[in-house]
């Protein structure tokens, strides 16, 4: 169950880094560099680095050898959750267009 919470934290960290206005002050200057611009466009890549950040933090709290795999799991889960959220948002926008027509 702890792994589920950790993966949810990875998703949250990825979303805050990618979309959150609270870190806009950090994201905007970084995105002027090509590496970071491409990194913040890709939830798969950003999820991987979020997993690495949490692995490093967990190393000092309570280390488990399975946390070596956390960046890979975080990458996949972040990518899937970003796709699902985009799908929901697209469907919502299409429904709004349909309501405006009627």
Q: Tens digit of pLDDT for each residue in 56-79?
A: 999 999 888 888 999 999 999 999
pLDDT recorded at residue 48: 97
Of 92, 56, 95, 61, nearest in space to 74 by CA? 56
Q: To which residue do tokens 């949490």 refer?
A: 54
Average pLDDT over residues 13-40: 92
User: What pTM was estimated for this model as a whole?
Assistant: 0.85
pLDDT recorded at residue 64: 85
pLDDT recorded at residue 62: 87
Cα dist from 49 to 29, 38, 52, 102, whole Å? 18, 13, 5, 45
Average pLDDT over residues 14-23: 91
């Amino acid at each position: 169950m702890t792994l589920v919470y950790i993966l949810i934290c990875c998703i949250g960290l990825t979303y805050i880094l990618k979309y959150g206005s609270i870190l806009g002050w950090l994201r905007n200057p970084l995105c002027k560099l090509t590496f970071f611009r491409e990194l913040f466009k890709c939830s798969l890549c950003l999820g991987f680095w979020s997993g690495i950040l949490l692995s490093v933090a967990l190393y000092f709290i309570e280390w488990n050898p399975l946390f070596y795999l956390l960046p890979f799991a975080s990458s996949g889960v972040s990518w899937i959750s970003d796709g699902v959220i985009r799908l929901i948002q697209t469907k919502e926008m299409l429904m709004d267009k349909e309501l405006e027509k009627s």
